[in-house]
Amino acid sequence: MAHLIRGRQIGIQNDLSAGLSQEQFVIDEISRYGINSQISAMAYDPVQSLLAVGTRETRFGTGQIYVFGHKRVSVVLSLQRKTSIQALQFCADKLICLDARHDLSVFSLETKRLLFSHTPPGTALTLCTDPTLDYALLGMQTGDVLAYDLDRGAMAPFKLPSFWAEMNPRARMTPVVSLALHPRDIGTLLIGYAEGAVIYSFKQNKAVKFFQYEVPRGAPGGDIDPASTNVVRHPRLSHAAWHPTGTFILTGHEDGSLVFWDPKDGRIVMARTFESTNINKPQASSYNPGRSSAPMGVKEPLFRIAWCANQDPDDTAILIAGGASSTSPAKGLTLFELGRTPNYATSSWQLLFQHFESPKRQRILPTPPGTEVVDFCLIPRSTPYFAGAHDPVAILALLGSGEMVSMSFPSGFPISPTNQLHISLTLVHPFITSFNLSPAERPKWLGMKEERTHGPLILQGGAETPRAMKRFEHRNVVQTCHADGTIRLWDAGHADEIENELLVQADVARAVGRLEGIDITKVSFSGASGELAAGTRSGEMVVFRWSKNTAVGMEPTPGPNVPRNLTNVLDRTDPALVEGLLPFTLLDMKNGPVTALQLSDVGFVAAGFEGGDIAVVDLRGPALIYNVNLQELKNDKRGSFHRSSQPAERKEYPTAVEFSVMALEGENYSSILLHIGTSLGRIATFKLLPGAGGRYSVQFAGAIQAEDTVIRIIPLSADTGAPAYASQHAVSSLRNGYKVNGVLLAVTRIEARIFKPASNKGVHKSWDEFACCSAMVTRCHDAGYALVALFADGAARAFSIPGLKEIAATKVGGILDPKRLGEAVVTATGDILGWTGPSEIELINIWGSGAPFNPAKDTLFNPEIAIPPRPTISNLQWISGTQYVTAADMDLLIGGPDRPPSKRMLEQMRNTEAATRAGGGAAGVGAAAAAGQNEGYWAYMQRQINERTERLNIMGDSVDRLEQASTNWADDVSKYVQKQKKNAIMGVVKGRFGM
């Protein structure tokens, strides 16, 4: 009864929370966006058009694997143990993961589940797969190479010992740091040991070539320190890669050396660094140990090397992450554009030497200042072969901080991730710094589809799971602010169908007129007008409006900003943006960071600054219609701004702003009101009054004193409990005598207060133990309204209106980060958007049913997309005697003749049998049909295995005899070629003599 009496004192006659109970206060986990921890590995599948991202185990989260497709397709895969992801590779319908515990995990893209998990005997350092093989090759710390059967989920009998012991028997341990299959000959493997590289032939079952990089005395090598030139060095190998056609080999070393080898005779074609060539040849040294010199920089390690190819595999470029000097002014990815490779058979040694000595172009693909690229992932157009570096269109670079940068290949132009990458990836591209959640009218949001010039789509795979039918209410539009000064808007939904899945981007940095030093502190979005306002730490407030860009492709030249007044910024538009949120106006108050900001639905925006200023802008002009400092209002007759209860040294500045339409105390008509809460607990009310010529003026109406910092002001209808914001409908109805009997519910850190503006004291409730972090009046379906607040103890509590009696409580600290609940946003529908990590946010609903979050609901794999055939050796190589080994032959060479057919082989046989039956003896399949008419399926399958076994002489010949057979066959080919040459010469002689 007491709460009803207290409500009537402020004009609320009914209990607006009747019908609410603890049973209704249950959490639904709707969706998560972002990455839970620091990214450590990436992989791209051009066949299925999927991107996999692995994370590192940190205090913010364990290692997980995110697989992203087009639009909102996303699946999260978890490992069996807490660890970091070390390497990821797609292999046909599987995703292979090597983690920091050196365990191998095999996930099915079709079922989105872990198929196998294996701990190899020892420490696995590197991983190599091929889409045509059912095996994963593991390079071990001991120097061995093991094979894991991806179909059987067990180790294969195949094992290669450390071949470097043949080269250097005194070597104690030669860990395998790199594995690469020949781009065209799957039967050839390049093994990179720490001391050198080896080419292993599956056909001959032996190491056929050894490559050891030696820097003689007097040669500079890749070291920056000249003192090291006095000794013979063998820089440790860190990378080994094939030329896209297998013509050359590139090895990267710890001293920054890039060494190009001829794989046929094992000679060095060129040894160089980014700046110097012929670094393996002795040179005259000018180093004097007794003379002091300037401090020398230290080279970054070579993090990643990729030998890329255009559509023509002979037209190549080398992309390198790392290897630059720490004193180098420009950091980023280094690109050597080599151009078309000279014909090896007809080119001189000097021509091959010049090809690597003088590339067509060498340049730096720039990355954000002060960062370094530690890894990258190429985005090829179609084929998964050539180590994923064939005809790439884009680069996804991973920075040391865990952020991502995307750029085009080979130009290096930055690519906006908006509508190119999944929303979760945009939160680390670059890092998200803050966010806001605003309701938007559904028709307005459906019309906000940004048009921006961009290249081909990167992610097109997967399919979203069907969701519940869309809810016809305001959409939850999230605004994420990023470290590069951009804001991205997108629909988080209500666990329902999302009609407009596109992102909208606003570039605050361009609008302000500088690209660096932009830190967005506040953002506000109007869901009715589609306008966006952003405030920065440097004191600028920018407003964006939806429009078409009339200067597409033209880079703007920003002029100076007008101090303490509005600046027209219409020409500061991103040249790639055709239609979207364009800069409209800018206010630079030069009075500290923006601490409070609110954009109304009726054309007004109010901003508060740390220096105490309040600015109100009428966007119909636009015009600055009001500017006052809080110090100037303290002696106003209608307001109570006495500071006797506050320490004199505390600074007062706005912390909360809201617009409403209601009647002030003592007035019988409604007005447009502006309410401002301050850091010292003052809540001031201003009236916006229309004047001559349609221009509005602002008049101070009064204030009350609350306790502590105001964090939220919520206008309510005292009759219904519905929000009393300054909506377009409410303002347009004022001319017809529309009146709202309203009250304000103000929430501070230590209390909640309901009062009649402008200066009625009202009623209040103090929080007993924990400070309030965020709050909002929400409606639980049709049961009533309640104040939902988040507290520093990690709990969410619901309070009745007007009695402010606790109705229910539940813990959200186990889902959201309890230390950052002050940045969480509570909506009128009971949705809460909060941080779960530095770059991950989650949307929950507190009026739910206890539904958990499902991270693997979408479809990833499309079985109807066929893997393209693997590139093979050329006709010239075949004529010259190179034996051609197929992927099926490799299955038998690695798995042995006793291995049952794999699932892939069975599928191929079923397809062949189906084609045979469908052909009915037609041309091209007649022989197969004849063979299959009188035998069953399993007999047919066994016959196919026997035929392949006979062709490779596995049952009758040992692997050693394969080498001899290959040599004899090559000799026969050579004799045949010589005979043909002799016949050709004799034919010419006979022709000249008329014979």
pLDDT digits (tens, 9 = 90+) for 872-886: 876 655 655 566 777
Whether the per-residue pLDDT at 920 is higher than 60: the answer is no
In this predicted structure, what is the pLDDT of residue 857? 85
CA distances from 323 to 303, 326, 331, 373, 379 (A): 8, 9, 10, 10, 22
Closest among 316, 304, 326, 337 to 370, alpha carbons compared? 326
In which residue ranges of the chain is CATH 2.40.128.630 found? 431-452+475-632
Closest among 161, 119, 125 to 143, alpha carbons compared? 161
Instruction: Report yes or no: 23 and 809 within 8 Å, Cβ to Cβ.
Output: no
Whether the per-residue pLDDT at 978 is higher than 90: the answer is no
Mean pLDDT calculated for residue range 520-531: 96
Tokens of 522: 């506040």
Other CB atoms within a 10 A radius of the CB of residue 646 amount to: 14
Whole-number Å distance between alpha carbons of 378 and 187:
25
**pLDDT confidence of 986, banded at 50, 70, 90?**
low
Mean pLDDT calculated for residue range 592-619: 96
Whether the per-residue pLDDT at 78 is higher than 50: the answer is yes
In this predicted structure, what is the pLDDT of residue 896? 80
Mean pLDDT calculated for residue range 136-149: 95
**pLDDT confidence of 974, banded at 50, 70, 90?**
low
Mean pLDDT calculated for residue range 146-171: 90
Backbone phi, psi, residue 629, to 5°: -100, 145
**pLDDT confidence of 516, banded at 50, 70, 90?**
confident
Closest among 487, 515, 516, 517 to 582, alpha carbons compared? 487
Query: Maximum Cα–Cα distance for the chain, whole Å?
Result: 129
**pLDDT confidence of 664, banded at 50, 70, 90?**
very high
Closest among 210, 200, 220 to 282, alpha carbons compared? 220
Tokens of 732: 């347009």
Whole-number Å distance between alpha carbons of 49 and 199:
32
In this predicted structure, what is the pLDDT of residue 638? 45
In this predicted structure, what is the pLDDT of residue 900? 76
Query: Exposed, middle or buried: residue 809 (CB in 10 Å: 0-12, 13-18, 19+)?
Result: middle
In this predicted structure, what is the pLDDT of residue 975? 59
Mean pLDDT calculated for residue range 663-682: 94
In this predicted structure, what is the pLDDT of residue 166? 83
Orientation of helix 937-952 relative to helix 926-933, angle to 10°: 120
Query: Exposed, middle or buried: residue 792 (CB in 10 Å: 0-12, 13-18, 19+)?
Result: middle
Whether the per-residue pLDDT at 977 is higher than 80: the answer is no
**pLDDT confidence of 994, banded at 50, 70, 90?**
very low
Whether the per-residue pLDDT at 842 is higher than 90: the answer is yes
Query: Exposed, middle or buried: residue 786 (CB in 10 Å: 0-12, 13-18, 19+)?
Result: buried
Mean pLDDT calculated for residue range 951-963: 43
Say which residue, 115 or 987, is predicted with more confidence: 115
Whole-number Å distance between alpha carbons of 163 and 160:
8
Whole-number Å distance between alpha carbons of 260 and 267:
9
Give the rounded percent of residues in the chain with a pLDDT score beyond 70: 87
206: β partners: 201
Whole-number Å distance between alpha carbons of 536 and 509:
10
In this predicted structure, what is the pLDDT of residue 802? 92
Angle made by CA atoms 196, 199, 205, in degrees to the nearest 5: 130
**pLDDT confidence of 39, banded at 50, 70, 90?**
very high
In this predicted structure, what is the pLDDT of residue 755? 94
In this predicted structure, what is the pLDDT of residue 127? 96
In this predicted structure, what is the pLDDT of residue 930? 38
Mean pLDDT calculated for residue range 694-714: 93
In which residue ranges of the chain is CATH 2.40.10.500 found? 38-119
Task: Tell me the average pLDDT of the chain.
Answer: 87
- Could you say which of 2.40.33.10, 3.50.50.60, 2.40.10.500, 1.10.1660.10 is the CATH number of the domain covering 38-119? 2.40.10.500
Whole-number Å distance between alpha carbons of 129 and 91:
6
Tokens of 368: 């954000």
Whether the per-residue pLDDT at 760 is higher than 60: the answer is yes
Whether the per-residue pLDDT at 976 is higher than 60: the answer is no
Instruction: Report yes or no: 634 and 642 within 8 Å, Cβ to Cβ.
Output: yes
The runs of H, that is alpha helices, within 829-922 are 875-879, 887-895, 903-919
581: β partners: 546
pLDDT digits (tens, 9 = 90+) for 402-449: 999 999 999 999 999 999 999 999 999 999 999 999 999 999 999 999
Which range has highest mean pLDDT (6-20, 60-74, 274-288, 978-992)?
A: 60-74
Whether the per-residue pLDDT at 988 is higher than 60: the answer is no
Mean pLDDT calculated for residue range 270-287: 80
Whether the per-residue pLDDT at 979 is higher than 60: the answer is no
Residue 90 identity (one-letter amino acid): F
Mean pLDDT calculated for residue range 318-336: 86
> Residue for token digits 């809080």?
630
Other CB atoms within a 10 A radius of the CB of residue 200 amount to: 19
Other CB atoms within a 10 A radius of the CB of residue 558 amount to: 15
Whether the per-residue pLDDT at 634 is higher than 80: the answer is no
DSSP 3-state percent helix, strand, coil across the chain (nearest 5):
15, 40, 45
Which range has highest mean pLDDT (29-33, 872-876, 908-912, 967-971)?
A: 29-33
> Residue for token digits 């079923």?
910
Whether the per-residue pLDDT at 171 is higher than 90: the answer is no
pLDDT digits (tens, 9 = 90+) for 571-582: 999 999 999 999
pLDDT digits (tens, 9 = 90+) for 547-588: 999 989 888 788 899 999 999 999 999 999 999 999 999 999
Fold of the 431-452+475-632 domain? Lipocalin (2.40.128)
In this predicted structure, what is the pLDDT of residue 943? 52
Whole-number Å distance between alpha carbons of 258 and 268:
11
Say which residue, 989 or 770, is predicted with more confidence: 770
